[in-house]
Amino acid sequence: MKIQLLTLAAALVMTTALPAQKLDLKLDHLIPLAKEHVVIDMDGAQIKAALAALPKDVKEGKPGKGIPAQAANIDVLQVRTFEFENEGAYKPSDLEDIRRQMGGTGWSKIVSVRETKETVDVFLMLKEGEAAGIAVLAAEPKELTVVHILGKLNVKDLQAMVNSKIAFDLAELQNRK
C-alpha cells in the first residue's frame, strides 16, 4: 500500500493541468473477492457539491493545508482500491483492459515501475500540449489500486491536496446529493 500512495502522490504532483475521455474501469467483479474495497466515481458537479459541503476551515485551512478551490475544476475522479485476503484474487488481464483503453487515445505512459511482485504504471493524457488527465495503476499481490483523474489543475493545487493533513471520506461525500 505504501508504494501505491507514494506513486499516487508523485503522479498528482507531476500533472500540470488536467477535459478528456472517462475510462471504463471494469473492476466491479473484484468487489466480492476483496476483504476491503473503495469505489469512488465522481463527476465535476458532485465534486463541487462535496467541496461546498466542507466546513470553511477545512476548505481554507492554514496555508498549504486546505483543499484548494481549484479542486472544483476536476471533471472526473475515479478510484478503485482493493485489498485481498490471498494472492491471485485478481488477474493481470483485469488491468490489461484498462491499459488497452489508453492505447492510441492520447494517453502516454510516463512512469513504469516493475519489482518482483509489484507494478506501477502512470499514464498522462495530453491535449493541445497540456495535460488533460492522469491515470495510475498500482498492483501488488494482495492489493490493487486504480486512480483516474480528468480536469484542470496545476502543480501547486495538486501539491496542496497531496500535502493536506485533512481526513475526509470521499465516498460519504459522494452519497450526499
Per-residue pLDDT reduced to its tens digit, 80-125: 999 999 999 999 888 888 888 887 677 888 889 999 889 999 888 8
Q: What is the pLDDT of residue 141?
A: 94
**pLDDT reported for residue 173:** 45
Within 8 A by CB and 6+ apart from 9, the residues are 162
Q: Are 148 and 132 in contact (CB under 8 A)?
A: no
Query: Helix or strand or coil: residue 174?
Result: helix
> Does the pLDDT value for residue 64 go beyond 50?
no
- Residue 17's pLDDT band (cuts 50, 70, 90): very low
Please give the model's pTM, rounded to 2 decimal places.
0.71
Exposure string over 153-168, b if 16+ CB within 10 A, otherwise e? beeebbbbbeebeeee
pLDDT, mean over the chain: 74
Task: Indicate the pLDDT class of residue 27, thresholds 50, 70 and 90.
Answer: very high
- Write the pLDDT tens digit of every residue in 116-168: 889 999 888 877 777 778 888 999 999 999 988 888 655 555 555 555 444 44
Residue 67: predicted pLDDT: 58
